[in-house]
Amino acid sequence: MPQATRTKKPDVKVVILGDMNVGKTSLLHRYTERKFKDTISTVGGAFFMKQWGPYNISIWDTAGREQFHGLGSMYCRGAAAVILTYDVTNWQSLAELENRFLSLTDTANADCIFAIVGNKADLTDTRIQGPDTDGEQVDERQPVVTCPTSPAILHKQVSREDAIALYSHVLRYKGLEEKACLPADKMCFETSAKTGYNVDSLFESLFDLVLPSILKKRSEGESSTVDLESPMEVKTNKAGCCS
Amino acid sequence: MPSHPEGILESSDPTSEENPRTQDHQPDLQKLHIQSSETDSGKASQDSALDNGHDDSGEFVVTMLARSKVEEQGMGTKDASSPLSETGTPLGPPSHRNEDVTADSWRQHRKHVFVLSEAGKPIYSRYGSEEALSSTMGVMMALVSFVQSGDNTIRSVYSDEHTVVFTQRGPLVLVSVSSSRQSEQQLRQELLYVYNQIVSMLTQASITRIFEHKKNYDLRRLLAGSEKILDGLLNLVDSDPSILLSAVHCLPLASSLRDSLSQILQKSITPNLVFSILIAKNQLLTIVQEKTVIEDARLEPSDLHLLLNLIGASSAFQAGEIWTPICLPSFNPDCYFYAYISYLDPPECTVCLVLLSTDKEAFYSVAECKRKIEEAMQTQNALNSIAKAHLYSVSQVGVSDLRHFMYKPFDVPDNHRQLTQFTSPEMEAPYSSEEERMRLLDLYRDMHSRIHSTSRPLKLIYHVAERETLLAWVTSKFELYTCFSPLVTKTCAINAITKLLRWIKKEEDRLFIRYPPKYSTTPNPSKSSKSDAH
Ligand SMILES: Nc1nc2c(ncn2[C@@H]2O[C@H](COP(=O)(O)OP(=O)(O)OP(=O)(O)O)[C@@H](O)[C@H]2O)c(=O)[nH]1
Ligand SMILES: [Mg+2]
């Protein structure tokens, strides 16, 4: 059974992936600190612990830079949920999810759940600023706080349909039956770290969705807790040299 | 530092010890070599008799290069400088540029730094976008390859106002265009820092591999997002004497407190942990090292500077716990350590713990070390004590005309090589403003370049300037730079230095990390990660 010193160990792991500059750090910052502030491109990965009811949820904010690409699968190891993040104003950032990031999730749990998140929705949100909308239905669960001096509206390069298509690609890649999985419309989010739009609902619905995974692990007892902590493969090259 | 300069002052000839740097005269304290502030000896810029007229084309660098002398170093022959115009280098006409890089303000930056690939692809520019500057970089590259084709390596170019220093490291060419009046040697060292910071992110092996594979690879793909780290480094280079002195500045701390912090680090270990570093206010508190890993190597000050810069350049570090690969180029340019970085005093975030492991997968066990360290520090109320630690004021030395100093001891304990350190008080009035601080640093830089001049190294400089008097002194035991009020007499200054050295001796337990402690986390000594460092 877990010892007292282990109580702060994570019960479950959530990983945020996506190209640099899409706003991964900003999203996490908005959620944990309720703020939008200047960020600096993340190096490696940053580990956060979030108390969710009686559970400790660990969140890894990873670097999107190509420089750190090799580390992605390490951060994903044993993940119960992966947040694939793109920037709604940058089509390439969606393409990168499939090209570059999807394969990193091979090390995640077999029952890992995926969320597709289009961030920077504030840049294309037209509901307040004009009728130039592409018929986008925006989730109403949270009020949109729009900056009164909004900059010029940017062209939305990624539609919700594109994101939904990516979601089914992800399931196919994982060899999962679409019918047996969480539905795409529930797992595709559009958010704004800047205004806070949809950010809480993204994290909180995801946390609720990983609860079964926690319970399953708990019922399996101590061994699975240890599994999360310890590397799956033993490195022969302890020196860490990359030659 | 067990051995100590005090004894030296009492000997009749304080500089009689052998000093490999000095080939010429050995002045003693009573025969000070006086150089007035106007003297600008040793500066090659004086040699170039080129017209000073301002030119209105946008091609700042091109023009400067075209009107300057080029100093080449042959592969064996030390060729005389030849004006570039005579070589017939085909410098193209000025090409179009973005407004920002053609502006006067762009040219007037004190120090530009450019990094480009051997194929001439821009990688980094301190000011202005690399895209906008690609033609400038192209010209630089043309120049470099032109000289290379003649079996020469271009090293530096001097004009009235600027010094241009080129250096090539593997497939990267680094260029410094500076009006700071620093020596070529100093500028070259700074470029080496820039190179090493890039290596710290990518490793030398992978840079080499990338360019072997594809000669015109755009390295910005891999460095995108790292510009702020390089910007931060260059600001550090300009504003912090640590890099000039190649030494680490540690925060003054009662030795009992420092020892107990070291012990906490020593006790909180896990396999493959190799360095535990505690930093407060961007200065070193203590560092504990793995025994076997450092048998044949130690952490160089430059590696620590690069590490500190990486930490400081990223405010993102202040939330959460970071786990990131980092290469320490002087330790081993081809291999990564995995750095765990976490602040111990959120939300202030002034006390930072850095744990370096050789095991990529060790995050959770290393994070566990942090919990232990945190706990132990809590029981000892160590954060409180650390918060009280601060730089000292020069007034504590008790020497009236002394305004500031930098003291770097060379002495090394008998049994293990030490981390090179220096000590320096806070910069106080009249050096509290940004400009004045920079001016003093420039004076120090000038003294430093004269002390370390390759053509005519000096052991002692007594420099009477308009607003202050400086005395620099290097012996086999230490390097010392002092700044006095302008009215000080030579005798006064000498007495002051005697007092200062006594004071440092008395305080050295507090000012320096005396014996960096060690631990053993690697059961098998052959696991030493130092495979091909030198
Ligand atoms: N307008 C707008 N800007 C955003 C939003 N989220 C992030 N940004 C901006 O986008 C830039 C990148 O944000 P980060 O959160 O650092 O991006 P990241 O994905 O963590 O990037 P890496 O750490 O390099 O992988 C910053 O300038 C943010 O201010 C958003 O919702 N709206
Ligand atoms: Mg980030």
In sequence order, the β-bridge partners of residue B462 are B34, B471
- Same domain? For B321 and B280 the reply is yes
Is residue A154 assigned to a domain? yes
Q: Which residue of A has its CA nearest to B313?
A: A40
From the CA of A45, how far away is ligand 2's center (Å)? Answer: 8
Is residue A125 assigned to a domain? yes
- Which among B239, B262, B297 is the end of a domain? B239
Is residue A232 assigned to a domain? no
Contacts of A224 (CB under 8 A, 6+ apart): A217
CA distance A97 to B338: 26
- Same domain? For B135 and B232 the reply is yes
Is residue A190 assigned to a domain? yes
For the CA of A42, the closest atom of ligand 1 is 23
Contact B358 A239 (CB under 8 A): yes
Please give the residue range of the domain that contains residue A188. Answer: 7-139+149-227
| Dihedral of the alpha carbons of B398, B402, B405, B408, in degrees to the nearest 10 | -60
- Which among B239, B271, B292 is the end of a domain? B239
Is residue A25 assigned to a domain? yes
Amino acid at the residue B390: H
Opening angle at CA B99, ends B97 and B104, nearest 5? 105
CA distance B154 to B175: 11
CA distance B463 to A36: 52
- Same domain? For B37 and B172 the reply is yes
Amino acid at the residue B314: S
Is residue A240 assigned to a domain? no
Contact B222 A46 (CB under 8 A): no
Contact A46 B316 (CB under 8 A): yes
- How many structural domains compose chain B? 3
Cβ distance B347 to B356 under 8 Å? Answer: no
Q: Give me A234's structure tokens.
A: 């033993």
For a mutational test of ligand 1's pocket, the pick from A21, A158, A200, i.e. the residue with the most ligand atoms closer than 8 A to its C-beta, is A21
Is residue B521 assigned to a domain? no
Distances A215 to A80, A108, A209, A221 between C-alpha atoms, Å: 12, 17, 11, 10
Contacts of B52 (CB under 8 A, 6+ apart): B160, B161
Chain centroid offset of residue B235 CA: 11
- Which among B211, B239, B267 is the end of a domain? B239
User: Model's pTM, two decimal places?
Assistant: 0.80
- How many structural domains compose chain A? 1
Instruction: DSSP letter for A101, please.
Output: I
CATH number, domain of B163, equals: 3.30.450.50
| Dihedral of the alpha carbons of B423, B425, B427, B430, in degrees to the nearest 10 | -130
From the CA of A36, how far away is ligand 1's center (Å)? Answer: 9
- Same domain? For B24 and B107 the reply is yes
CA distance B43 to B158: 10
Q: Give me B48's structure tokens.
A: 């170039």
Q: How many CB pairs under 8 A join A and B?
A: 122
Per-residue pLDDT of chain B (534 residues; tens, 9 = 90+): 333 333 222 222 333 333 333 333 333 333 333 233 333 333 333 322 223 333 332 345 545 554 444 444 433 333 333 333 333 333 333 332 343 566 677 777 889 898 988 888 888 988 877 666 777 777 777 767 766 666 666 677 777 788 888 888 989 989 998 988 899 999 999 999 999 999 999 999 999 999 999 988 888 888 888 888 999 999 999 999 999 999 999 999 999 999 999 999 999 999 999 999 999 988 999 999 888 776 666 788 999 999 999 887 665 545 689 999 999 999 999 999 999 999 998 878 889 999 999 999 999 999 999 999 999 999 999 999 999 998 999 999 999 899 999 999 986 554 446 788 999 999 998 999 999 999 999 999 999 999 998 888 889 999 999 999 999 999 988 999 999 999 899 999 999 999 999 999 999 999 998 877 888 886 654 444 444 333
Q: Is A226 on the interface with B (CB under 8 A)?
A: no
Question: Which H or E run contains A110?
Answer: none
Tell whether omega for the bond before B347 is within 30 degrees of 0, i.e. cis: yes
Residue closest via CA to ligand 1's atom 32 equals A120
From the CA of A78, how far away is ligand 2's center (Å)? Answer: 21
Is residue A135 assigned to a domain? yes
